Structure 1
């Protein structure tokens, strides 16, 4: 190839390079023009002190808060949140066996005898199953259609109520037809003997012929009345000194 041909190739390459840079140069010029317009717009508001401060003042930083910021600022708790019930002793009633929060003098429950009912309590997994195994026919026949709701705890018989500081964990009942069955599981911070004496005092005054049974740590206080009313209390001591109770009664409100 001669010098003239080589010169033509070089000239063509330069022309292509210039053509390629043309649009790019135009874009840069447009961006520069836009930047200048924004700067001018900001400086044009110099007469507005609030605008000037917003655009030009330094950002205020709290050193104390800045020092506290780190990658662990937002983090999960060190342990799971507790959904447990408050302790039984919180806002509890009196624990004296002489009053149990009512001011009345309590009679002592009779000494316990053998406890065939304790077997039923151990083998019953639900309040309905416990009610179904009661000796009273009216109670057992109504147990099959029991419904569970905490509201049943408010419909116990007036003469076999909840203990004053009872903490209800479960309740069930049946009010269909002739049934007035109620069953409640609750705990209390007072010792078992106090609970036994309190219920024995109330039920004996209401005309029930109460009987006390025991098998080791399990106790039962139950009774019947001439109008067909019947109740049964199943009690066990808690490690914290309180008492767990299952109450079944067939003449609820």
Structure 2
């Protein structure tokens, strides 16, 4: 009988322990981590990693969606063309009288006091440099800042539309009572020389007087058109992959 009572007692204790275990709340590792991060004693390396902003590099835009099955969505109503190969970009270029014009040999440009190693740092600075180099062309009021938005690239004058297959990185524009300014930064698979020859041909075809200059190690086109006080400034840089990055700004009277 005593052994039976001992057996029943052991069984009861085991059942009680089982029930107690069922009632315990499961451990939430996410909640424990959140509580630790909320304390001053949390690991500062983890806290800084979770709270620091994400880094982006617009110069790598041409490498986006390389292996995608479908193209990326449009941005703010403005399409970003899929980059073309260098051969395809060259074959897509328009010509004048059956062939593209070759820009003359570059001459040294006058100094650019506000430029960095790669030229003007922003599209706004590029527009100010255009005003300094082409005083006869129309320009936005210096107090009127450019509005930065990708759709401005779609409003570039037709002769200076985006290069075939260009990947748009930035765009800006402004409109005053008597002048319209359009600017864009792009990455292009074609070489810097192809870019210079293309826009030189386009500018000459549109009635611009154009000069090919060299600003440091970069190629530059500077142009003007008297009939509408038009102005053009373009800087082309050779990219590490053999392509080019290009900044251009165009102004025309309204």
Q: Which residue of 1 aligns with 2:30?
A: none
Residue 108 in 1 paired to residue 102 in 2? Answer: yes
Q: 1:124 is matched with which residue?
A: 120
Q: Are the counterparts in 2 of residues 230 and 251 from structure 1 also a CA contact under 8 Å?
A: yes
Partner of 2:134: 136
1:85 to 61, 84, 103: 61
Aligned to 1:245: 246
Q: Which has the higher helix share?
A: 1
Partner of 1:158: 158
Q: Structure 1: how far apart are the matches of 2:235 and 2:147?
A: 20
CA drift of 1:124 comes to 3.0
Alignment RMSD: 3.1
2:189–2:244 contact (8 Å) kept in structure 1: yes
Task: Indicate how the Cα distance of structure 1 residues 141 and 162 shifts in structure 2: closer, same or farther if over 3 A, else same.
Answer: same
Judged with a 3 Å threshold, the aligned counterparts in structure 2 of structure 1 residues 88 and 224 are, in CA distance, closer, same or farther, namely farther
Which TM-score applies when normalising by structure 1?
Answer: 0.60
Range with bigger deviation, 163-172 or 127-136: 127-136
Q: Which has the higher contact order (CA 8 A, sep 6+)?
A: 2
Equivalent positions of 1:89-238 (< 5 A) are 91-93=82-84, 95-96=86-87, 99-102=90-93, 104=95, 105-116=99-110, 120-122=114-116, 124-134=120-130, 135-137=133-135, 138-139=138-139, 141=141, 144-227=144-227, 228-238=229-239
Contact preservation (8 Å) 1:129, 1:143 = no
Extract unaligned runs of 5+ from structure 2: 1-11, 13-53, 67-81
Going from structure 1 to structure 2, the CA distance change for 1:120 and 1:214 (only over 3 Å counts) comes to: farther
CA contact (8 A) 1:118 1:219 kept: no
Q: Which residue number corresponds to residue 33 of structure 1?
A: none
Given the superposition, is the C-alpha separation of residues 242 and 153 from structure 1 closer, same or farther in structure 2, using an over 3 Å criterion?
same
In the comparison of the two structures, how many residue pairs are matched?
Answer: 175
Distance 1:151 1:213 in 2: 29
